[in-house]
Amino acid sequence: MTATIQKISYYAEWNSPAVEWVFRFFSSAIGCTFSPTYEMNQAVVVYTKTPGRREQLHIPFRPEYYDKQQWFCLYNGYWVPASARTAAFPLDYVGLIFRLLTLMDEQNVPDTQRDPLGNLQLHLQVPRLEFCDRPMVDEVVQSFKQELVARRILQEEDTLPRWPLGKRYAVVITHDTDGPCLLEPKELGKAGAKGLMRRDGKEAQAFVEGVRRLLTRGEDPYFNFSQWATFEQSVGTKSAFYIYMKSKLTPRHAHNPLYHVRTSHAKWRVLHELADRGWEIGLHASIHALERDEYIQEEKDHLEQFLGQPVRGNRSHYWSIDWRHPDDSLRRLAAIGMLYDCSIAWKGVPGFRSATVTPYHPYDPQQYVGLTLLEIPTNLMDGHLFEYQQQTEPSLWFALMMQHVKMHGGVLNLDWHTRTWVDMFSYRGWRTFFVQQLQKLVNMNEAWFATPEELCKHWIARERQIEG
């Protein structure tokens, strides 16, 4: 890492914690230190309605970006208030980033356009979805950085690199664990019911194979933790497995997983073995778990008691955070000591829900600061490619995500469910595709591969170095 980190002073006409939070994000995203000053003539960057001196870089302050009631749209490629659709509109870098990272526009979506869990319905047509696959936050950061360099305010050699070993971007491999035990009665019955009632031939095949393996005492085709780890070790990577923990406190939900991690079952010892070998075990918080403090706390406690070690990361099952008030869910995760979360993602399409490939500390509107929790947005899930977006060739989606991640030096957060290693039944081709794509990434030797916790520790240490 470079020994010298450049400091750039800024002045904000609107003295708000929201503005300070965005400039802290600029610091970590660019790799230099933005320091506030209360004297406009001492600032190099000014965030004001009217320009300052000629030598100062002016970011126009537009209060509309902070108004929850405002409707926004795409105009000239960027996210602007709908009222400015036909007018010349100077881009407010700071306000745009605040609005996108806080998911402010989603708060305008009524309950009638949400699914029962509050998430946006897959068929919903809202303006924000027009650029669901563009990391506009990172595009704005890049434009801002280019202006700083062009004005010789910033020297690129004095910025702190994002990733170790000179790597261009980061990759984290993660696995949600939803249905890892086909041979358990509830899972086998579920497959049989789908095959019969929905006339789902692939689930019927899974049911028949499951019965055959029960009768012959064969291995469970969905219990694939060791298989994933063996493959990942062969290409020099490690991953994170997110585990559902049944809680007596948390209300039940029909879509929660059916398995139960029990210490008495020898097969679950594999999680201890993987953790001892450097794989990460995180929490797959259940539906409803983030509605109350005691729900999520108990699930985390149960997993920690089983593992005998701290649990530092989460991804919520069914992406079931409170999408009407996402900060409430993330605040709860921070309060119970989670280091990071990976729950910010589009439900049915690959892309960038908070419009970024850069890790960030979500804004807390109650305390007016960034949370200690680090959000690592998830860009790409197996179901995105093979379940929800079947009309598009998976390799094209993967290439598009990679293009954005590489361009902005961000994080490719891949989510492949543990049971998909079977590569049969409803999951035929899912593992094969992942293995091929990951091997390509490894062979290109441009990516830093890390578990999410490793990435967080690196990013937070880097932030501290930038802050001095």
Q: Kindly tell me if the per-residue pLDDT of 154 is higher than 80.
A: yes
Does residue 458 lie in a domain region? Answer: yes
Residue 187: per-residue pLDDT: 94
Does residue 195 lie in a domain region? Answer: no
Give the residue-averaged pLDDT of 327-348. 97
Whether residue 334 sits in one domain with residue 255: yes
Residue 393: per-residue pLDDT: 94
pLDDT single digits (tens) 207-254: 999 999 999 999 999 999 999 999 999 999 999 999 999 999 999 999
Whether residue 330 sits in one domain with residue 252: yes
Q: What is the CATH number of the domain that holds 441?
A: 3.20.20.370
Q: Kindly tell me if the per-residue pLDDT of 2 is higher than 60.
A: no
Residue 1: per-residue pLDDT: 44
pTM: 0.97
Whether residue 67 sits in one domain with residue 57: no
Q: Kindly tell me if the per-residue pLDDT of 379 is higher than 70.
A: yes
Does residue 350 lie in a domain region? Answer: yes
Whether residue 120 sits in one domain with residue 9: no
Residue 262: per-residue pLDDT: 84
Does residue 159 lie in a domain region? Answer: no
At which of 10, 29, 61 does a domain end?
Answer: 61
Whether residue 92 sits in one domain with residue 38: no
Whether residue 67 sits in one domain with residue 40: no
At which of 61, 80, 111 does a domain end?
Answer: 61
One-letter-per-residue 3-state SS of the chain:
CCCCCCEEEEEECCCCHHHHHHHHHHHHHHCCEEEECCCHHHCCEEEECCCCCCCCEEEECCHHHHCCCCCEEEECCEEEEHHHCCCCCCCCHHHHHHHHHCCHHHHHCCHHHECCCCCECCCCCCHHHHHCCCCHHHHHHHHHHHHHHHCCCCCHHHCCCCCHHHCCEEEEEEEEECCCCCCCHHHHHHHHHHHHHCCCHHHHHHHHHHHHHHHHCCCCCCCCHHHHHHHHHHCCCCEEEEECCCCCCCCCCCCCCCCCCCCCCHHHHHHHHHHHCCCEEEECCCCCHHHCHHHHHHHHHHHHHHHCCCCCEECCHHHCCCCCCHHHHHHHHHHCCCCEECCCCCCCCCCCCCCCCCCECCEECCCCEECCCEECCCCEEHHHHHHHCCCCCHHHHHHHHHHHHHHHCCEEEEECCHHHHHCCHHHCCHHHHHHHHHHHHHHHCCEEECCHHHHHHHHHHHHHHHHC
- Looking at the chain, the whole-number percentage of residues with pLDDT higher than 90 is 89
Whether residue 271 sits in one domain with residue 236: yes
Q: How many independent structural domains does the chain possess?
A: 3
Residue 3: per-residue pLDDT: 58
Does residue 206 lie in a domain region? Answer: no
Label residue 108 by pLDDT band (50, 70, 90): confident
Whether residue 91 sits in one domain with residue 228: no
pLDDT single digits (tens) 255-284: 999 999 987 789 999 999 999 999 999 999
Does residue 152 lie in a domain region? Answer: no
Does residue 204 lie in a domain region? Answer: no
Whether residue 233 sits in one domain with residue 375: yes
Whether residue 79 sits in one domain with residue 13: no
Whether residue 40 sits in one domain with residue 67: no
- Looking at the chain, the whole-number percentage of residues with pLDDT higher than 70 is 99
Q: Kindly tell me if the per-residue pLDDT of 98 is higher than 70.
A: yes
Does residue 196 lie in a domain region? Answer: no
Whether residue 23 sits in one domain with residue 67: no
pLDDT single digits (tens) 163-210: 999 999 999 999 999 999 999 999 999 999 999 999 999 999 999 999
Supply the range of the domain harboring residue 85: 63-131
Give the residue-averaged pLDDT of 282-310. 98
